Structure 1
């Protein structure tokens, strides 16, 4: 899901920075002291999962678990993912610094959207289905946003945008299945997480 530096147009980069800044501010306003350890664990999960990636043109595909993070943390997805993306860019060269805002927006905004949609349903549908919808839905939206970012940066990237979108479809199904099992495990081991402990997001 990382787009490399030097690919996107200036308007797309500026819009990504502005929207990520706004999302991060909103997220930090909701960061209570008791949520810091939980947010740190999820940031580490995102960091580790997205280290294993397959190049796909000027982007890449990999597990990101943004659906789970959005479901559990809401707007906190922005600062959680921003920290991990900064570390990946600095230490491993994934994505880049200039494109950081767009990369964070493409991953965190779908997380927030899916979380807002599914969180009210968490007591009414099976845990595995909840996780599947969160995982697959967020990755699918991320694929659309990455493709749109490339498409809006010039006609030269239209074919690449299509490749990135279709390449993310199998990944969305895989992430949905894995996320479903994770939510089932959370529901068995620490069910209070899904019963409202972190619902004020």
Structure 2
């Protein structure tokens, strides 16, 4: 339900989505090294699969988003992974759509970048289980941000979309809780057994120049 379908949004909103997505893609890909591609591909595949598995919630269905996990693992490259995963879903399974690809990538990719920056805030702190705590916050808040962004975009279309925008929020409350637990657990586990999988601490901001 976080994926908005073709034919829902007006052309101006679609154009703005593509504009901002292109800008963020350029910034996200800047300085990318060949050795980063396998890791990006692995996380992109996980995003692709996770979003295709739907769970019924009341009159609708929801799916895992995992943009928070992408953020803490890929850092600034998370937006690239989100965009590629959404493109493949739109092309092969008509999940979302091509005309709304820019908006969907923005709605899911920006919270992924937020999750990365939030996860970085743990550095310099001395307290046990920081990776678990910040990972859980990153995972849950990333989904919440995506849901709120979609809901606001639907509300902007008029009163006819008020009910569905509220449904989007309510239906994703279980997803927020699940991803809070999953991403927190994954962050703590990876920090113990394979800390190099977490986002590179040498790239902390998306610099324009």
Number of equivalent positions = 199
Q: Show CA shifts across 1:148-184 (max 9, x none).
A: 1211223311211111012222211111101112112
Question: Structure 1, residues 4-61: CA drift from partner, whole Å, max 9, x if none?
Answer: 111112222111111111111111114222211111111111011111024789x962
CA displacement, residues 133-159 of structure 1 (integer Å, 9 cap, x when unaligned): 111010000100111121122331121
1:185 corresponding residue in structure 2: 189
Q: CA deviation at 1:115?
A: 1.3
> Is the partner of 1:162 in helix, strand or coil?
helix
5+ long unaligned stretches in structure 2: 205-209
Give ranges in structure 1 of 5+ residues lacking alignment. Answer: none
Structure 1 residue 65: deviation in Å?
Answer: 1.2
* 2:85 aligned residue: 84
Confirm whether residue 117 of structure 1 aligns to residue 118 of structure 2. yes
Residue aligned with 2:98, SS: coil
| Cα contact 2:75–2:113 (8 A) shared by 1 | yes
| 1:89-108 matched pairs, under 5 angstroms | 89-108=90-109
SS in 1 for 2:3: coil
- Output the CA distance in 1 between the equivalents of 2:57 and 2:161: 12
Question: 1:132, 1:30 → 2: CA distance?
Answer: 29
User: What is the deviation of 1:105?
Assistant: 0.5
Partner of 1:75: 76
Q: Is the 8 A contact 1:3 1:60 kept in 2?
A: no
Alignment of 1:1-201 (within 5 A): 1-54=2-55, 61-122=62-123, 124=125, 126=129, 127-194=131-198, 197=200, 199-201=202-204
Question: How far apart in 1 are the matches of 2:55 and 2:157?
Answer: 22
- Describe the shift of the 1:198–1:46 C-alpha distance in structure 2 as closer, same or farther (beyond 3 A): farther
Give the SS at the match of 1:95: coil
After superposition, the CA RMSD in angstroms is 2.1
Which moved further from structure 2: 5-14 or 118-127?
118-127
Task: Judge conservation of contact 1:12–1:153 (CA < 8 Å) in 2.
Answer: no
